[in-house]
Structure 1
Amino acid sequence: MLFGLLGNILTILVVWLRPHMRSSTYLYLSSMAVSDLLILLLLPLDLYKLWRPRPWLLGDLACKLTMFLSECCTFCTILHITFLSLERYMAVCWPITAKTLVTRRRTRALIGCLWLGAAVSAAPVLVMVGVEEGIDGGHEGELDKRECRCTHYAVSSGLLSAMMILSNLYFLIPLCILGLVYSLIGRTLWLRPQSSRKDQSHRHTVKMLGVIVLAFVLCWLPFHVGRTIFSLSLGTYFNLVSSVLFYLSAAVNPLLYNLMSARYRHAVNLLYGHGKFCHILFPRKLTV
């Protein structure tokens, strides 16, 4: 959690404090960093629920909002990776069209739409979850059995099943799109001469995004599989492993940027070198 928080905060600062880093690609990555930050901030609550699932002492509103925020950020991250990959496809395969369509202003507007779409998609969670009396697993003599969980209404009405289908579609459809997009990008770059400086830059960016997508698939596939089979006897243990990978995915992206992008490393060095990062953390000390 600490590693992920520091890495994602640094990613946001690098993009927004270094003007040359505000390309469409890094605008997407900084917005993803915000989503990953929110996911990681929910980790203590998830650990608390594992340690003591009942009684839930934070109230019905906190139960609904935390579950909604987790689902919203999950959808948002998937949408960001998909649209970022489509943007790279436009830049590589249709460069003239991309120069006209892909601008910073439109990218910011599209990112706002992605957040709105993710929030709308996650909205049913506000009805699905709530604080109810636990019906199993309680300790003998335990008086307060309030638990933050899926409500009986969500199960009986079929809302839980519908949301499970939506969640899986949110993973499977983008996965198919990503496979097609990177196949087309790879084919286009393979057929072009490697002497072009712009194509070399595209290759480097696509390699970085390819690693990010691979990490995304490896970390999130068990999470979605675990959701589907949670009712089986192995579901509890599988969900624990998939939850670890889910949070690992939110923490590992800044490390991948650092390993794969010399531009990112250079921007971080400039940020430290000019003291802007320290100025934000300790403004009074630096102004004295």
Structure 2
Amino acid sequence: MDSLNSSESMYQAVNNTVDEYKLSSYTIIITTVFYVIIFILGVIGNVLVLFVVCCNKDMGNSTNYFLVNLSVADLLVLVFCMPVALLETYIIRPWLLGEVMCKLVPFLEYSASQASILTLVAVAIERFVAICYPLKAQYTITPKKTVRICGLIWLIACGASIPYLFMAQHTTYDITENGDELYECGTYNDSLPAEIYVVSCAVIFFLLPLFVLVGLYLRVSLALNKKMPAQCNNRVVFNKKTQEAADEEYSMEIYGGTSHDGDSGNPPEYTPLRVTSRQRAPDPFRAQMKMRKRVVYMLIVVVALFFICLLPQRVVSLWFKYGSAEQQMSLGVEGVYTLVIICRIFTYMNSSINPIIYNIMSTKFRTAFLRALGIKKIRKRQDTTSSHNSSFATTRLNSVQASSMV
């Protein structure tokens, strides 16, 4: 909202006639197509995230609860803010939704944005503790505490967005021949306290979290890329005797039988298949590190896209505020609003793209999504040896799992 209304000089230049506020049919059609696609994908995807995490006990871990919180913020933006933006594409003036919606829409948009960035910071801290101090994470970051942290995140985000309720102005700009008042809605930060507030929010909820997230994920990535990370002193390590015992257990007969052929103890028509010493049990620590790397890489992609998608709106808002009116009006009314629409598309795209990332980069999410949609994943039949190998690997991995994975 503020990217459209933050430049008072721009409004003074284009407020002369209502006709100037009608966008071209081409711009309206293209914008509508993008908005509808983003809205459908975003709502379906984020609702699926809520459904699969809340309805699957095996996905009820701290990381996934934070991702649910992120989906709630995205749904708020898509459901409450995006339809208003689409309406403004068709009817820029007058404002038709009343004073309450004029103030509520920017408040919700910025509350959701700030809740999203705080959630990304929280999940980065959770991953850092879980990977570098796994035993400590078991009692410091529990699902119950995660729910409380999510509640605190929303309290901070909503509290920090309260000034937008006062900065959003619902004012009369004209009166019709019938005596009806025509209203416009704008978010203005032309006072010194408002400017200080806007700059502070940009630093606290955009620049500072960016540096924190880069630092945390850099340390986590370095820890995961080491075979025996120095930071991870509390992990479970298999010693030589444990590995030997695992190899002995893993070396089993696939086909059982009783003695039918003298001293051999085997039926004459086959020889029992045994796993050789080369077919050792999979290293559960290595498998666990591979899972953790996949989760961290997925979260890094989510963070990177968040800042990439929100950066254009931040830059354009500052340009509208501090740039010259001549530079802005050189684009023309159509160009200015097209730039605003592009920034909004990037913002709304960020709210719809996360479930797609989960589906691409997380096997558990992909399987849960398919199951929720009624699509059963087709698996090739494996022979008996593969089944035993997979069962044993899963058992050993679960026994040393130090923290929940996505």
User: Which residue of the partner structure matches residue 96 of structure 2?
Assistant: 57
- Cα distance in structure 1, aligned partners of 2:319 and 2:106: 19
Counterpart among 258, 268, 277 of residue 359 in structure 2: 258
2:225 counterpart SS class: helix
2:190 counterpart SS class: helix
- Cα distance in structure 1, aligned partners of 2:197 and 2:317: 11
Aligned-residue Cα RMSD (Å) equals 2.5
Alignment of 1:15-164 (within 5 A): 15-41=53-79, 42-134=81-173, 144-150=181-187, 154-156=189-191, 158-164=192-198
User: Which residue of the partner structure matches residue 271 of structure 1?
Assistant: 372
Counterpart among 220, 223, 231 of residue 185 in structure 1: 220
Shift of 1:203: 0.6
> Tell me, which stretches of 5 or more residues in structure 2 are unaligned?
1-38, 229-282, 377-406
User: Which residue of the partner structure matches residue 242 of structure 1?
Assistant: 343
- Cα distance in structure 1, aligned partners of 2:318 and 2:60: 39
Contact 1:86 1:181 in 2 (8 A): yes
Shift of 1:142: 11
CA deviation digits over 1:81-109, x for unaligned, max 9?
11111111111122222112010000000
Q: Which has the higher helix share?
A: 1
User: Which residue of the partner structure matches residue 51 of structure 2?
Assistant: 13
> Tell me, which stretches of 5 or more residues in structure 1 are unaligned?
276-288
Distance 1:274 1:241, change over 3 A: closer
- Alignment of 1:215 with 2:305, yes or no, is yes
User: Which letter maps to 2:149?
Assistant: L
CA deviation digits over 1:166-212, x for unaligned, max 9?
33111101100011011101111122359523222211110111111
- Cα distance in structure 2, aligned partners of 1:21 and 1:15: 5
Aligned length: 270
> Normalising to structure 1: TM-score of the pair?
0.86
Shift of 1:117: 0.5
Q: Which runs of 4+ in 1 moved over 4 A?
A: 234-237
Distance 1:267 1:50, change over 3 A: same
User: Which residue of the partner structure matches residue 199 of structure 2?
Assistant: 165
Contact 1:230 1:236 in 2 (8 A): no
Contact 1:164 1:228 in 2 (8 A): no
User: Which letter maps to 2:362?
Assistant: S
- Cα distance in structure 2, aligned partners of 1:222 and 1:252: 17
Contact 1:227 1:239 in 2 (8 A): no
Identity, in percent, stands at 29
Contact 1:230 1:239 in 2 (8 A): no
1:149 counterpart SS class: strand
